[in-house]
Amino acid sequence: MEYSRKLKPSPDLNGYFGEYGGVFVPDQLKDILVEINNSYLELRQDPGFIEELSSLRRDYIGRPSPVYFASNLTTEIRGAGIYLKREDLNHTGAHKINHCIGEALLAKRMGKKKLIAETGAGQHGVALATAAALTGLECEIYMGTVDIAKEHPNVTRMKILGASVVPVEDGLGTLKEAVDAAFMAYLKDPRTQFYAIGSVVGPHPFPMMVRDFQQIVGEEAIGQFREQTGTVPDNLVACVGGGSNAIGLFSAFLDEPGVDIYGVEPAGRGFKDGDHAATLTLGKPGIIHGFRCYLLQNADGEPLPVHSVASGLDYPGVGPQHSYLKDIGRVRYETVTDTEAIESFFRLSRLEGIIPALESAHAMAFAELLAKALPSSRTILVNLSGRGDKDIDYVVENYGERFGIPN
Ligand SMILES: *Cc1c(COP(=O)(O)O)cnc(C)c1O
What are the two backbone dihedrals, phi and then psi, of residue 309, each rounded to the nearest 5 degrees?
Answer: -65, -20
Q: Determine which residue's CA is closest to atom 10 belonging to ligand 1.
A: 359
> 355 and 247, same structural domain?
yes
359 lines ligand 1 (CB under 6 A): yes
Structural domain includes residue 263: yes
Question: Is 385 one of the annotated active-site residues of the chain?
Answer: yes
* Domain CATH code at residue 318: 3.40.50.1100
From 147, 239, 344, 387, mutation site for ligand 1 pocket: most ligand atoms within 8 A of C-beta: 239
Cα(27) to centroid of ligand 1, in Å? 30
CA–CA–CA angle 150, 153, 157 (5° rounding): 135
Structural domain includes residue 11: no
Q: Which helix H or strand E contains 220, and what residues bound it?
A: helix 216-229
> 225 and 129, same structural domain?
no
Average pLDDT over residues 328-332: 97
Cα(406) to centroid of ligand 1, in Å? 29
Question: Is 118 one of the annotated active-site residues of the chain?
Answer: yes
d(CA 184, CA 30): 15
For residues 150 and 293, which has the higher predicted lDDT (pLDDT)?
293
Question: Is 272 one of the annotated active-site residues of the chain?
Answer: no
d(CA 28, CA 175): 25
Q: What are 71-100's pLDDT values in tens digits?
A: 999 999 999 999 999 999 999 999 999 999
- Residue (of 283, 352, 353) closest to 323 by Cα position: 283
Structural domain includes residue 242: yes
Our measurement of the distance from residue 210's CA atom to the centroid of its chain's CA atoms, rounded to an integer in Å, reads 10
> 258 and 165, same structural domain?
no
User: Residue 2 above 60 pLDDT?
Assistant: no
Asked if 260 and 236 count as a contact pair (C-beta separation under 8 A), the reply is: yes
> 86 and 142, same structural domain?
no
From 197, 245, 354, mutation site for ligand 1 pocket: most ligand atoms within 8 A of C-beta: 245
Catalytic residue among 87, 103, 118, 220: 118
Which domain, by its residues, includes 52?
26-57+96-210
d(CA 365, CA 367): 5
> 325 and 237, same structural domain?
yes
Q: What are 97-112's pLDDT values in tens digits?
A: 999 999 999 999 999 9
Average pLDDT, the chain: 95
Cα(96) to centroid of ligand 1, in Å? 7
Q: What are 229-243's pLDDT values in tens digits?
A: 999 999 999 999 999
Burial of 327 (0-12, 13-18, 19+ CB in 10 A): middle
Give the number of other CB atoms < 10 A from CB of residue 78: 10
d(CA 43, CA 106): 7
> 270 and 202, same structural domain?
no
Of 143, 177, 210, the last residue of a domain is 210
Structural domain includes residue 16: no
Give the pLDDT confidence score for residue 5 in this predicted structure.
54
Catalytic residue among 340, 352, 385, 390: 385
- Residue (of 33, 89, 20) closest to 61 by Cα position: 89
Cα(28) to centroid of ligand 1, in Å? 30
Structural domain includes residue 261: yes
> 294 and 171, same structural domain?
no
| Amino acid found at 290 | G
> 107 and 87, same structural domain?
no
d(CA 225, CA 380): 10
193 lines ligand 1 (CB under 6 A): no
Of 210, 228, 247, the last residue of a domain is 210
Structural domain includes residue 299: yes
Average pLDDT over residues 210-215: 97
Give the pLDDT confidence score for residue 6 in this predicted structure.
65
Q: Which helix H or strand E contains 125, and what residues bound it?
A: helix 123-135
Sheet holding 114-119, edge to edge: 164-168, 138-144, 114-119, 193-195
> 385 and 279, same structural domain?
yes
Give the pLDDT confidence score for residue 7 in this predicted structure.
66
> 265 and 202, same structural domain?
no
**What is the torsional sign of CA 281, 284, 285, 289?**
negative
Give the number of the atom of ligand 1 that is nearest the alpha carbon of residue 246. Answer: 9
Structural domain includes residue 10: no
245 lines ligand 1 (CB under 6 A): yes
Asked if 262 and 236 count as a contact pair (C-beta separation under 8 A), the reply is: yes
> 360 and 294, same structural domain?
yes
d(CA 168, CA 141): 10
d(CA 126, CA 155): 8
Of 178, 194, 210, the last residue of a domain is 210
Structural domain includes residue 87: yes
d(CA 354, CA 356): 6
3-state secondary structure of 194: strand
User: Residue 69 above 90 pLDDT?
Assistant: yes
Give the number of the atom of ligand 1 that is nearest the alpha carbon of residue 210. Answer: 7
Cα(241) to centroid of ligand 1, in Å? 6
CA atoms within 13 A on the CB side of 79: 13
Which pLDDT band, with edges at 50, 70 and 90, does 1 fall under?
very low
> 107 and 89, same structural domain?
no
243 lines ligand 1 (CB under 6 A): yes
Cα(247) to centroid of ligand 1, in Å? 11
Q: How many domains does the chain have?
A: 2
Q: Determine which residue's CA is closest to atom 1 belonging to ligand 1.
A: 312
Give the pLDDT confidence score for residue 47 in this predicted structure.
96
Q: Determine which residue's CA is closest to atom 15 belonging to ligand 1.
A: 123
What residues contact 309, with CB distance under 8 A and at least 6 apart? 266, 268, 338, 341, 342, 358
What residues contact 197, with CB distance under 8 A and at least 6 apart? 103, 117, 206, 210
Can you point out the beta strands (E) in 42-171? 67-69, 81-86, 114-119, 138-144, 164-168
